[in-house]
Structure 1
């Protein structure tokens, strides 16, 4: 098995000059606590062959102006944003408030819930288990987790859905269980909530027939991964994904050392007055939604994670084969646009192939997107999920413009 440890892109190594000193740096040094709370961290691209610095800076400036205007118009929460080359942050800035009522500004190290980006984390954990021989992507999930044989509504004569189908949202399962409290309850009972949700979910399509996004499918997949490796799910992810990548601000449970950087999530309850999400619901009551929506993180940590998804992290945690398998379309509708294993795949009108995921959970939005050929990616995190800013549109527009500066 060959492991990629070098950081590269199709125009060669991208290195960046520190804006204040002019020294070349890959910006991999740890942030100080003060830097984590700072509103911005920036390095400008060195004048190098293939990089149009004016176009690059203009794209960043347009994005900044857009975020400043939209966050000011909301006057509720904030946005933390980063641009990465491989695993390295090359530009980052925060806008607005981490805590509006206490007037604490958002920082580049502010911590947010990432919603369904957690599914990508679960898929990486799954591939780690595959590489070690604990799981075969094409085996029925029920061989690992027999309770899943109790999902009702299986199509007559259809084969049992496989691990691959659960990971690509082609298992045929509905989006959510038919159970009001499935997504409530303390994190300590999330596994019980998954098991209890199984007979209250159902198949709506034959396995493999079509793409059908399923939160309960990913909750089940995460518990199956834990059963396969013989370790608690959160422990396995922390030790086998977060720790080797240096994702020191990523977790499922916010402890006292990270609590000062946790942003307050805001929701609009329909009265025109956005308010903080109820803490018991937001940070304690998650029910079965741990593998599919439970990760807290920062833009810097997710930049490292994007590098791993491209095989550009050091140390590498995925083989080239696993990276390729995750990054190809597994849904049947369109070979160029669809869902891989834990990632969304889109081809732009200009022919750029973009890979990433979005996330939305009460009080928070998240978005990460990268182009694997160049290694460039963007991460946007927000603590208000009904604001004026469309993170997906803003993030894709920024990435496409930055890619244009490389050509």
Structure 2
């Protein structure tokens, strides 16, 4: 069982108290340093059960890099080609009969992974609510969500438009080509070669004593525990966008694995050419203030202002009931992650609100 660092935990406690978040964890890691974990707060708001260093945390879209890693490994093995079209990847499937050839004739698997496919970000609220609120069968709603994603694009292909559904379509292609589920492929191509024994799927609290998800109170001045039984992420289309959880120790292992890949040296997880492709940004700058662009499963900032102008590789994620953020600094050969069991929406909209306390944590190292 990992032990929590006292200084990190105390600083984290002040951060979550200031932001009224029930519980959180932070981990600092690197290729030349010891992993350090800090935890603070409660697994469930209003209960006495405190967060532990070995708890599991939902990662949300941080898991997109796992799906991208898996797709790159299938590309290396000749199972699929990232340059082939979505129409080719889905040929012979029920989903393939739905593809709008006018929009998707030139959209590739790589476009899906770099958010340049023109696919809508998510199924509509009306589709989600038929499953979550009104109890329609999950498989039926999943088919409706796939149809909605493929029958027409909502933006020009090749232009950046963040899409969870796009990652879902990539997962469907991988499942079709291999005859295995996305979960099985992530276990085989990510969890096992990267040595992540805690990796699992769904909400962490469904798998033992772990932090619960929380929602805003009706007053808006804090969070209350929320017993989650159904979510949009239950749909097969949505899971490859990031329905995974990890312990903080394994999240550090995952981060260190990607720091090793960034070094360009041969690695058992990905060949150097595949690793370079994963971290190579596609297209123009998306954020004129921070200079960020998107690669395959990772945001890339060439000169992050929060970290002395260093190159920053990062991703955040949320299932609306929790939040996660991971960052890698290749020049310093180190990284960090922050996880909480509630979502402060401003954190998702303004990354600097997260990087500021994280930079302070790193200074304690």
Q: The TM-score by the shorter chain falls in which range?
A: 0.7 to 0.9
Deviation at 1:384, TM superposition (A): 1.1
Q: Which residue of 2 aligns with 1:18?
A: none
The answer on whether the counterparts of 2:15 and 2:357 sit within 8 Å (CA) in structure 1 is no
Among 325, 332, 340, the residue aligned to 2:284: 332
The answer on whether the counterparts of 2:204 and 2:211 sit within 8 Å (CA) in structure 1 is no
The SS at the match of 1:280 is coil
Larger helix fraction of residues:
2
Distance 2:238 2:187 in 1: 17
Distance 1:277 1:89 in 2: 35
Q: Which residue of 2 aligns with 1:6?
A: none
Q: Which residue of 2 aligns with 1:264?
A: 212
The answer on whether the counterparts of 1:123 and 1:167 sit within 8 Å (CA) in structure 2 is yes
Q: Does 1:230 align with 2:174?
A: no
Q: Does 1:124 align with 2:73?
A: no
Q: Which residue of 2 aligns with 1:322?
A: 274
CA-to-aligned-CA distance 1:294-327 (integer Å, 9 cap, x gap): 1111222121112222335997311111111010
Return the index of the structure with the highest Cα Rg.
Answer: 1
Moved more, 176-185 or 215-224: 176-185
The answer on whether the counterparts of 1:86 and 1:377 sit within 8 Å (CA) in structure 2 is no
Structure 1's 383 and 89: CA in aligned 2 closer, same or farther, altered over 3 A? farther
Structure 1's 152 and 342: CA in aligned 2 closer, same or farther, altered over 3 A? same
Q: Which residue of 1 aligns with 2:31?
A: 86
Among 127, 134, 153, the residue aligned to 1:203: 153
Q: How does 1:35-184 map to 2 (within 5 A)?
A: 35=2, 40-41=4-5, 67-74=12-19, 76-86=21-31, 90-146=35-91, 147-148=95-96, 150-152=98-100, 154-155=102-103, 159-178=105-124, 180-182=126-128
Among 169, 181, 193, the residue aligned to 1:220: 169
TM-score (norm 1): 0.74
Q: How does 1:306-321 map to 2 (within 5 A)?
A: 306-311=255-260, 316-321=268-273
The SS at the match of 1:310 is helix
The answer on whether the counterparts of 2:22 and 2:223 sit within 8 Å (CA) in structure 1 is no
Deviation at 1:185, TM superposition (A): 4.8
The answer on whether the counterparts of 1:343 and 1:357 sit within 8 Å (CA) in structure 2 is yes
Distance 1:283 1:265 in 2: 14
Number of residues paired by the alignment? 345
CA-to-aligned-CA distance 1:212-265 (integer Å, 9 cap, x gap): 0011111111121122222211011112211222211111146999412x2111
Deviation at 1:274, TM superposition (A): 2.5
Q: Which residue of 1 aligns with 2:300?
A: 345
Distance 2:205 2:155 in 1: 44
Moved more, 96-105 or 281-290: 281-290
Structure 1's 252 and 66: CA in aligned 2 closer, same or farther, altered over 3 A? same
CA-to-aligned-CA distance 1:255-294 (integer Å, 9 cap, x gap): 999412x211111153346322232125984563211131
The answer on whether the counterparts of 1:112 and 1:296 sit within 8 Å (CA) in structure 2 is yes
Q: Which residue of 2 aligns with 1:304?
A: 253
Structure 1's 277 and 103: CA in aligned 2 closer, same or farther, altered over 3 A? same
Deviation at 1:170, TM superposition (A): 0.3
Q: Which residue of 2 aligns with 1:368?
A: 326
Q: Which residue of 1 aligns with 2:339?
A: 381
Structure 1's 256 and 269: CA in aligned 2 closer, same or farther, altered over 3 A? closer
The SS at the match of 1:116 is helix
Distance 1:106 1:389 in 2: 21
Deviation at 1:107, TM superposition (A): 1.8
The answer on whether the counterparts of 1:145 and 1:227 sit within 8 Å (CA) in structure 2 is yes
The answer on whether the counterparts of 2:23 and 2:40 sit within 8 Å (CA) in structure 1 is yes
Deviation at 1:149, TM superposition (A): 6.0
Distance 1:117 1:191 in 2: 25
Structure 1's 289 and 334: CA in aligned 2 closer, same or farther, altered over 3 A? closer
The SS at the match of 1:345 is strand
Structure 1's 269 and 150: CA in aligned 2 closer, same or farther, altered over 3 A? farther
Structure 1's 64 and 107: CA in aligned 2 closer, same or farther, altered over 3 A? closer
Distance 2:79 2:182 in 1: 14
Structure 1 alignment gaps of length 5 or more: 1-31, 43-60
The SS at the match of 1:104 is coil
